[in-house]
Structure 1
């Protein structure tokens, strides 16, 4: 099967959705909330709240993280050799807000630990932890897509409810009902 990718010239004449209409449409797409962390070249911990994290491949296991060019963590994430995706549970809504804030020490008093051997920051109580080695960085509009090969994957308490971002607010889904007995 061949895939056609329009060239920049072909795409130039096509209309695009208006930014506000696109933003409103995307607000209706529920997404898990993560804090993505890395060490910058000086060894300082950096991190930000992200909803643009998705799996890409099973063989090898890979994820994609989108980071805006204007993000304070852009240079740290796109230049890092490795990063961690800390998928948050329902009890982490304040942490998600903290890592979305500007002008503060996002890590102060949060309980982040360091991976043995690398020092990369991670959240021990995260619902899911994905330690990733950066494989590629691809420019996509006003964001860069950081592709990471997953080197460690850990899940927390299966009963822990996820934290979701939907319609510009944090939500926790209702607990699943037990399956009916057959």
Structure 2
């Protein structure tokens, strides 16, 4: 089997794959909500795979598990916004993690940037990005994106994803 065939093959549960899932289940990850504007309307999803890659050019990386629905729309967008969210957005992050759940309601606090993307002004930071490269890995797609604008928001207690649940991290003022 070639490298390309291995990277695009349908995933099969293996002991190593199951071990990897178990290992990362206990490795905390930051939480982000990624949004984009499409001709059909706004789309979004929750991601715990966002990481910085470089500062010159400013770049991040994340992965999505399929190229359909919201993930497919984000993969096809010219630009998108990666919202780094805090504890008060745990319910919103959960909503964006479940297909078909309510999204982009006025009660959720969404606005629209002048460039058209959905924006959560209350997020700790919002990174407006454009994709540089995508790489298919099995049923996932890794996205490398250039950050073209950083919008600062309100900082609170950081939110992490651990063992299939969201958790707030204490801040210096939580003693």
Q: For this structure pair, what is the TM-score category when the shorter chain's length is used for normalisation?
A: 0.7 to 0.9
Contact map agreement 2:31 2:160 (CA 8 A) in 1: yes
Contact map agreement 2:67 2:141 (CA 8 A) in 1: no
Q: Map 1:69-88; keep pairs closer than 5 Å.
A: 69=66, 72-88=69-85
2:100 pairs with 1:103: yes
Taking structure 2 as the reference length, the TM-score comes to 0.85
2:112 pairs with 1:114: yes
- Aligned residue number for residue 57 of structure 1: 54
Give the structure with the larger helix fraction: 2
Structure 2 Cα separation of the partners of residues 174 and 104 of structure 1: 29
Over 3 Å counting, the alpha-carbon distance change for 1:129 and 1:95 in structure 2 is same
Over 3 Å counting, the alpha-carbon distance change for 1:71 and 1:19 in structure 2 is farther
- Aligned residue number for residue 8 of structure 1: 3
Over 3 Å counting, the alpha-carbon distance change for 1:174 and 1:33 in structure 2 is same
TM-superposed deviation, 1:32 = 0.8
1:19 to 6, 17, 40: 17
Regions of 4+ moved over 3 Å: none
Q: Map 1:34-45; keep pairs closer than 5 Å.
A: 34-40=32-38, 42-45=39-42
Contact map agreement 2:158 2:170 (CA 8 A) in 1: no
Structure 2 Cα separation of the partners of residues 146 and 129 of structure 1: 17
- Aligned residue number for residue 152 of structure 2: 155
Contact map agreement 2:45 2:71 (CA 8 A) in 1: no
Structure 2 Cα separation of the partners of residues 140 and 39 of structure 1: 25
2:137 pairs with 1:129: no
Aligned residues: 165
- Aligned residue number for residue 3 of structure 1: none
Taking structure 1 as the reference length, the TM-score comes to 0.82
Larger CA deviation: 96-105 vs 161-170:
96-105
Contact map agreement 2:49 2:63 (CA 8 A) in 1: yes
Which runs of 5 or more structure 1 residues have no equivalent in the other structure? 1-6
TM-superposed deviation, 1:45 = 0.3
